[in-house]
Structure 1
C-alpha cells in the first residue's frame, strides 16, 4: 500500500497541473460555445469547451459543469491509438476498460460499480441518444455497436452526476459520440494505415455545403487482417459508413439527421494458458506467446458439433446494424426552446468463439474428468491426421467450448424536451421513451479436446473399457441453450431547474420517474438431457441438452431518481462543485431470465475543483458511492462439468475514490498531461454462488485501487516539417478477477508512444507503438470458475503484445 501511495504522490503533482492527453483541448478542432462541431477551424479558448452529455440537450461549458466529465478531441483520439472503442475509455479517470478481448466484447467498470463483466453501467450515445438502451445484455455491450473513425469529432464521458436523469437514466458512465458536420467550405481526409501484424485499414471523410446554412458529411472506414493474435485465418474484417446533414436556423437553432451502417467483426479473444509461480509471479506458458498467441487455428475454424451444427470461428464477434437518428433544437419564442432527439437501430450482433474451460492438464487427468475415477487413456490421436500422440497419457491437453450466440436487435428511442429560460432561471422538462427487442439463440458447451499449444490441434480420445470420449474432437454437445424473444419499454419523465443565484453561484436540482416494462418468451434446457445415439459407451453425446417448455417473463416496475448540485465560480477560470444523486438500474433480459428482479440503486456524493486557463486545465473529483440491490448472472463450470451453468450474485457494495486529470502547457508546442484514480471499493452483504458465498469486505472484482497515466507531447517546426512526439506510461494496480478475491491479477505498466510528421499542410505520416515493452499484464483470470486457480498452469487473459501502426493521411 505504501509503495502505491508513493507512486501516486509522484504522479499527483502532474495530475494537479494536467488532464489526460486525450482530454486536452485542441482549439483548431473544438466547437465554440455557439456553433456545432464542424470540420472548420475555430478559435475556442480552453474555458469555452462545450459538452452536451449530462445536460438536458442545450450544452454547457465544461468549466461550468457541476459534475465529472471528460472530453476527448479527434486529435487526442488519434494520439491514443485505441485498439477498440472501449479501449479509448482507459483515458477517462475512474474507468477500468479491458480491451484485451479484441474489437468487441470489452469489460468496462465504473467507479467501483460491481459487475461480473461486459459493461453493465456504461451507455454509449450518438448525438445524445443511446445507441441501444440496455447498456449490457449477455454477449452484448454498447461499444460493440459503434466504432471510432475519422468521422468522429470528439467523445464526451460523464461519470455519475446528472447521468441518472437524462437519456436512459444511466447512473454509471454515459459516453456521447459527437460526429463531424459540414460547414461553408469543402474539407476532407483520406488515410491508409498498416500494422506490423498485417492489418490494413482505410479511412476517409468529406464535408461541405449544401446551401447557405446547410452542410453535409459522409465518411467511414474499412479494415481487414488476421489480428495480432493470429488464428491462421482472416479473423478481422469489416467497416462503417456514416453520413449526416446539418441545417442551422440562424440563431434560432438547428436540425441534424444522420445514418450509420456498421458491418464489422473480429476474433473474440479469451483467456489463454499462463503459468503462476511462487509468490504469484506470472510467466508465459511454454510455447505460448503471451502477447500474440491464439488458441484458435485452422483445425478449429470450421467444425460440426455432435448436434449437427456447423460453426465457423471466422464469424467472430461483431455487429451488422444500421443506426439512424434526428436531432432538432428550435427557439419557439423568446426564452422557450423545443428539443427532439430520436434514433432507430436494427440488425444483428452475433458471437462465435472458442471459449476455454480448463487450464492445461495431462491426458491422464482428462480421462478421469471425462470418464470418472479410475478411467485411463487407451488411445490419444490427432483428429486431422498425424496418428497417435506419442507421449500419450502425459500429453498436456485442455478443453474449449465452441459457442454461438445469435442476436437480432431493434430499438427505437425518442427524447422530447422543452426549455424555458427567464433571466437567471432555466427550467427543463422532458419525456423519454424507448422500445427495444432482441431475439436470442444460444448454443453453449460443445467442448472440444485440444493440444495445449497455440493454434491448437483437435484430439480424439478413447478410454479403457471400449469407451469413446470424443467425436471429431468434441467431448460434449450443446449444454446451456437459449431460444428467447424479449421486448422492453421504458417510459420516463424528467424535470430540471437551474438557478443562477449570483454571477458566481448556481444551484440545480432535478427528478426523473421511470417505468420499466419487459415481456418475453423463453426456452432454456429441460431438466433431463438425452443420449443422442443411445450408446452409453460414446461419452460425447450421452448428456446433450434439449429445450424445455416455453415460459413467460412479465416485469413492470417504476422508480424515482433525483439529483441536486451546486457550482461556484471563484473566477471564470476557477470553480468548484458538489453534488448528490440517486440513480437506478433496472433488471434487463438476462437477469429476468434467471428470476432476478432487483432494481440496483446507487447513491453518489461527489465534489470537485476545476481550473481552466490557457496555461493549464485541472479537474479533480472526490466521490463516494453506496450500492444496493445489485444482481448479476455469471456462467460457471467445473472440471467434471464444463457445461456453463448460470450462477447468480446479489447484494451491495460501497466505494470511495479520487479522480484527477489535467494538462499543462508551459510553452508553445509542449504539453504534459496526467490522470490518476484512487479507488477503495468493497462488497457489503454481497453473495455469490447462488447465495452460498458471502463476500462482505472483499474488494470489488476487476477494479484496481490505483491507476494513473502520464503523457508528454511535443510539437515542433523543423525546416518546414512539423514533427509531433508523444508517449504514454500507464500503471494498472493489482486486482482480483473474482468476487471471492482468490484469483489475483498483478499490477503492470504499459508504455505506448508515437510520432507524426506533417510534411506539408496537407500530408501527414505517423507511426504509433502499443505496449512497447511487451509487458505481460493480465486483465482477467478464468471467469467460468468460482474460487482460485492455484499455481502452475492457469487460464488468464493478457493484454495484447507489442505492435506498431503506420499511417499516411492527406487532407484538403
Structure 2
C-alpha cells in the first residue's frame, strides 16, 4: 500500500468544473463529463470549481461558499496513490485520518470532535447520496464501504458549516465521492500498478454516448497481494465495479442511474510490539520491523478455538456490498426545480483479526498471569509440531485474541427537495428519510498464546501441578459475544433560504428537524454467568467462558432541531470572507444503545444521550492566477458525547463534553507555469470538559482530546514541465504530525513524527502516463495508536502500538483513449 505522496498538493488542485458559453455555472452532472482528451483534468482557476456537498443540491462556487470545503480532483488523487479511501482525507485540513490499520478499519477524527476510534463524525456520500446511514458502528465506518479507483471524478469534503442541515445532518465531516459520467465522445483508460511488496492491481473505465443526450460509464479495479505487512498468505484481494447511465433533459434537468458492486478484503492491521525508551523515543522491538512486521502468519491463519469454532483470518476486514441509486433533477416551471436522490445498499461487512492483548513478557510472568501467584512454567512448546521453545521460562511471549465480527447490513435513503429561485432569493425545502439495519454476530476474546515474533507461532503452556493453560494455543474461550438485529429509521424536514442582498453580500439560514428511532432485539453475555466448559479445574483455558443471556429489546425515540446562519462577502471575484454559526446533533447509534441502561434510553442520558455541537467559524478566501489561500478559524462546543470502548473484553463507557478552537489553512503559490508550492496546516486546541471515562470513575477535564495533535502541516513542491510530447513531473510532500495521546486519560503518548513521500511521473502525448510514487521514504516510525484495550499508561520498554506503514514504492502505467 502506498500512502499519500502529495497530500498538500491535492488541497490546491481544483475539481473539474465547466461553465456554459455565457459564463453561467452548469449543474453538477454537466461538471462531471469526462475530459475531452488527455490524462489531466482541464480545471478552471482555483475557486471556480463547483461544490455540491454542503449545499441544497444545485452547487456553488468554492470561492462563494460560506463554509470550509476542500475539493480533490481526479488528477490529484492519481498522483497521491492513496492506500485507502480514508488515506486521501489526510489532505483535508482539520482532519486526522489514520490509515495504518490497512485498507479498512480506519480511524478518522475531525476538528477536535472527541471519539475513541472509527469515524464517529464522518459520513460518506456517493453521487450525493449517503453510502450507509450510520456514520460509524463498532467495527464498521463508512470508508470501509467504498474504494477509490479511476471511475472517481473528484472528492468534496465539507467540515462543519451547513453539513448539519443536509443529507444525514452530519455536523462533523461530510465527504462526497463524485463518479465520472459519459460525455459526447468515447473515452477510456487502462492502468496497471505494481508495488515493491508484490501487490498487483488493474484499473479500467470506459465512457461515451448512448444517444445525443444520454451517456454511460463503466469501470472498476481488481487487486491482490499479501500487503506490506506480509503475513505470508494472500491477505489482500478483491475489487469494485461501477456503472452509470446519465440523461439530460435538454437543459432543464437530468436523471442518473448508477450501480456499484464491491467485493474486497484486506488484513486488519493492529498494534505490534515496539520499544519506548525512557526519553520517549520509539524504536524497533528486537526482530520486529516497525514498518512491515505483523503478528499474523500461517500458524494463526486457520484455528479452531475451545468451543470448536474454526476461523480463517485470511478473510480479514472488508465488504461485499451492492450500492444502487438514482439522482433526478428537473425544472418543472420557471424558477422551480425538483430534486430526488435515492440509494440502496445491502451486503456484508465482516471483520476477523488477531488483536494483541499485552506487550511481550517472559513466559514465567505469563505463567503467573494465567495461573495465579506461585505458578511456574512446566513446559512451553509450539502448538504446531510440539517442539520445545528455546529459552523456556525466559522466552518472550504475548497473547492476542482471535476476534470475529459479522455484520449483514442494509440502508435505504431518499432525499426529496424543491428549489424556488426568484431573482436574488433561493428557497429550498426538503424531506429526508432513511431506514437501515444491521444483523450482528460477535465473538471476541478467544486469546492465543504466541511467541513474540513476526508471523507469530502459537504456543502451548503447561504449568506446575499439571495444569493446562492452553489448548492448541488458546488460553481462553469467547469473552464478549453479541447476537443482535438492529433497525434504525430517521426522517427529517429541512428548509434553507439564500438571499443575495447586494452583488457582494449573500446571507443564508436554515433549519432541520430530525426524528431518530431505533428498535433492536439482542442477546449479550449474562453478567457473572461464565461457565467451566469441561468441569475440570486443571484445564484453565475453558474455565471462564461467557454464556449468552436471553433476548431483550431496545426501543429508542428522540428528535432534535439543527440550524445554521451564515454570510459571505466578496470584496472582488478573487477575495472574500465568510462567517457562520451552526448547531448540529449526533444521535446515539446501535452500539451505545446496546450498552445503555433502560433509564438512560428513557431519559436521553448517558450512553443514550444526543450529542449537541455548536460551531462558530469564519474564514478568508483568496483565489488568483498565481496564488490561492483558504483560512478558517473555528470554535466548537460539545455536550452529551458518549462512546464505549472494549477494555479487557468488557464495554466501558465514556461520557461528557469538550471544546475546541482551531485554525485551518490551505493554499498554493504558482510563480511559474512549471513550478508550484502548496501547503496546508491545522492548529487545534481541543480539551475535554466534564468528560468521564472508566464508567464514570476517571475525570478527564482539561486533558487533550485523544488521537488529535495540536499541530499538523504539510508542504509540497512540484515541478511540471513540457518537453516536446513529454510532460515529466516531480513532486514531494513533507508532512508533520504533532504529539498526541492515544487515550483520553493522556497516559499513552504518541510522539510527533515527520513523513516524506515523493513521486515522479511522465506523460507521453497525453495518452500514456508512467509513474512511480514512494511512501515514507525515510522509513519513519510514526505511531498512530497505542494500546486501546487498556486504561492507563504502558510505561517504558516493550509496549504495543500501531506504526504507520514502512517505506514502499508503487509503479504504474496508464493508457487513455
Give TM-score, length-normalised by structure 1: 0.96
Tell me which residue corresponds to 1:762.
767
Tell me which residue corresponds to 1:555.
556
Tell me which residue corresponds to 1:607.
618
Larger deviation, residues 700-709 vs 660-669: 660-669
Larger deviation, residues 716-725 vs 277-286: 716-725
Q: Could you tell me how far apart the structure 2 residues matched to 1:212 and 1:562 are?
A: 43
Q: Could you tell me how far apart the structure 2 residues matched to 1:434 and 1:206 are?
A: 32
Tell me which residue corresponds to 2:96.
96
Tell me which residue corresponds to 2:632.
621
Q: Are 2:646 and 1:651 aligned?
A: no
Contact 1:19 1:618 in 2 (8 A): no
> What is the CA-CA distance between 1:43 and the residue it aligns to?
6.0
Contact 2:516 2:559 in 1 (8 A): yes
**Aligned residue runs from structure 1 range 237-276, under 5 A:** 237-276=237-276
Larger deviation, residues 197-206 vs 610-619: 610-619
Q: Are 2:40 and 1:39 aligned?
A: no
Q: Could you tell me how far apart the structure 1 residues matched to 2:567 and 2:76 are?
A: 30
Contact 2:7 2:80 in 1 (8 A): no
Contact 1:233 1:314 in 2 (8 A): yes
**Aligned residue runs from structure 1 range 417-428, under 5 A:** 417-428=417-428
Q: Could you tell me how far apart the structure 2 residues matched to 1:360 and 1:788 are?
A: 15
Q: What root-mean-square deviation, in Å, do the aligned CA atoms of Structure 1 and Structure 2 show?
A: 1.1
Residue 20 of structure 1 aligns to a residue whose secondary structure is: helix
Contact 2:255 2:329 in 1 (8 A): yes
Contact 2:258 2:324 in 1 (8 A): yes
Q: Could you tell me how far apart the structure 2 residues matched to 1:260 and 1:665 are?
A: 38
Q: Could you tell me how far apart the structure 1 residues matched to 2:473 and 2:45 are?
A: 63
Contact 2:254 2:329 in 1 (8 A): yes
> What is the CA-CA distance between 1:534 and the residue it aligns to?
1.1
Tell me which residue corresponds to 1:282.
282
Residue 47 of structure 2 aligns to a residue whose secondary structure is: helix
> What is the CA-CA distance between 1:45 and the residue it aligns to?
3.5
**Aligned residue runs from structure 1 range 410-559, under 5 A:** 410-527=410-527, 528-559=529-560
- Once the two structures are superposed, residues 515-559 of structure 1 have per-residue CA deviations (whole angstroms, 9 ceiling, x without a partner) of 000000010011211111111100001111111011101000000
Contact 2:256 2:328 in 1 (8 A): yes
Q: Could you tell me how far apart the structure 1 residues matched to 2:43 and 2:86 are?
A: 30
> What is the CA-CA distance between 1:141 and the residue it aligns to?
0.0
Contact 1:23 1:73 in 2 (8 A): no
Tell me which residue corresponds to 1:573.
574
Unpaired runs of at least 5, structure 1: 1-17, 638-643
Contact 1:781 1:796 in 2 (8 A): yes
Contact 1:31 1:38 in 2 (8 A): no
Q: Could you tell me how far apart the structure 2 residues matched to 1:416 and 1:132 are?
A: 17
> What is the CA-CA distance between 1:201 and the residue it aligns to?
0.1
Q: Could you tell me how far apart the structure 2 residues matched to 1:425 and 1:759 are?
A: 48
Residue 573 of structure 2 aligns to a residue whose secondary structure is: coil
Tell me which residue corresponds to 1:688.
693
> What is the CA-CA distance between 1:26 and the residue it aligns to?
5.3
- Once the two structures are superposed, residues 478-524 of structure 1 have per-residue CA deviations (whole angstroms, 9 ceiling, x without a partner) of 11000000000001000000011101001100000000000000100
Q: Could you tell me how far apart the structure 2 residues matched to 1:507 and 1:620 are?
A: 20
Larger deviation, residues 278-287 vs 115-124: 278-287
Residue 71 of structure 1 aligns to a residue whose secondary structure is: strand
Tell me which residue corresponds to 1:717.
722
Q: Could you tell me how far apart the structure 1 residues matched to 2:543 and 2:463 are?
A: 15
> What is the CA-CA distance between 1:36 and the residue it aligns to?
2.7
- Once the two structures are superposed, residues 707-752 of structure 1 have per-residue CA deviations (whole angstroms, 9 ceiling, x without a partner) of 0000111111224321111000000000000000000000000000
Tell me which residue corresponds to 2:373.
373
Tell me which residue corresponds to 1:329.
329
Residue 666 of structure 1 aligns to a residue whose secondary structure is: coil
Q: Could you tell me how far apart the structure 1 residues matched to 2:17 and 2:471 are?
A: 60
Q: Are 2:656 and 1:661 aligned?
A: no
Q: Are 2:21 and 1:20 aligned?
A: no
Contact 2:687 2:704 in 1 (8 A): yes
**Aligned residue runs from structure 1 range 74-473, under 5 A:** 74-385=74-385, 387-473=387-473
- Once the two structures are superposed, residues 297-330 of structure 1 have per-residue CA deviations (whole angstroms, 9 ceiling, x without a partner) of 0000000000111000000000000000111111
Q: Could you tell me how far apart the structure 1 residues matched to 2:674 and 2:62 are?
A: 23
- Once the two structures are superposed, residues 557-611 of structure 1 have per-residue CA deviations (whole angstroms, 9 ceiling, x without a partner) of 0000000000000011110000000000000000000102100110000000001
Unpaired runs of at least 5, structure 2: 1-5, 20-24, 37-41, 597-606
Q: Could you tell me how far apart the structure 2 residues matched to 1:291 and 1:366 are?
A: 27
Q: Could you tell me how far apart the structure 2 residues matched to 1:761 and 1:685 are?
A: 58
Tell me which residue corresponds to 1:585.
586
Q: Could you tell me how far apart the structure 1 residues matched to 2:211 and 2:251 are?
A: 17
Q: Could you tell me how far apart the structure 2 residues matched to 1:719 and 1:332 are?
A: 51
Q: Could you tell me how far apart the structure 2 residues matched to 1:364 and 1:506 are?
A: 71
Tell me which residue corresponds to 1:798.
803
Tell me which residue corresponds to 2:22.
none
Q: Could you tell me how far apart the structure 1 residues matched to 2:778 and 2:508 are?
A: 48
Among candidates 716, 729, 749, match of residue 744 of structure 1: 749
Residue 75 of structure 1 aligns to a residue whose secondary structure is: helix
Contact 1:19 1:660 in 2 (8 A): no
Tell me which residue corresponds to 1:14.
none
- The alignment of Structure 1 onto Structure 2 pairs a total of residues equal to 788
Residue 171 of structure 2 aligns to a residue whose secondary structure is: coil
> What is the CA-CA distance between 1:667 and the residue it aligns to?
1.1
> What is the CA-CA distance between 1:231 and the residue it aligns to?
0.3
Contact 1:112 1:679 in 2 (8 A): yes
- Once the two structures are superposed, residues 129-184 of structure 1 have per-residue CA deviations (whole angstroms, 9 ceiling, x without a partner) of 11001000000000000000000000000000000000000000000000000000
Among candidates 688, 703, 709, match of residue 704 of structure 1: 709
- Once the two structures are superposed, residues 269-309 of structure 1 have per-residue CA deviations (whole angstroms, 9 ceiling, x without a partner) of 00000101111111000000000001010000000000111
Residue 143 of structure 1 aligns to a residue whose secondary structure is: helix
Q: Could you tell me how far apart the structure 2 residues matched to 1:456 and 1:389 are?
A: 13
Tell me which residue corresponds to 1:810.
815
Q: Could you tell me how far apart the structure 2 residues matched to 1:51 and 1:772 are?
A: 34
Among candidates 781, 787, 796, match of residue 782 of structure 1: 787
Contact 2:592 2:643 in 1 (8 A): yes
Q: Could you tell me how far apart the structure 2 residues matched to 1:376 and 1:386 are?
A: 19
Contact 1:30 1:73 in 2 (8 A): no
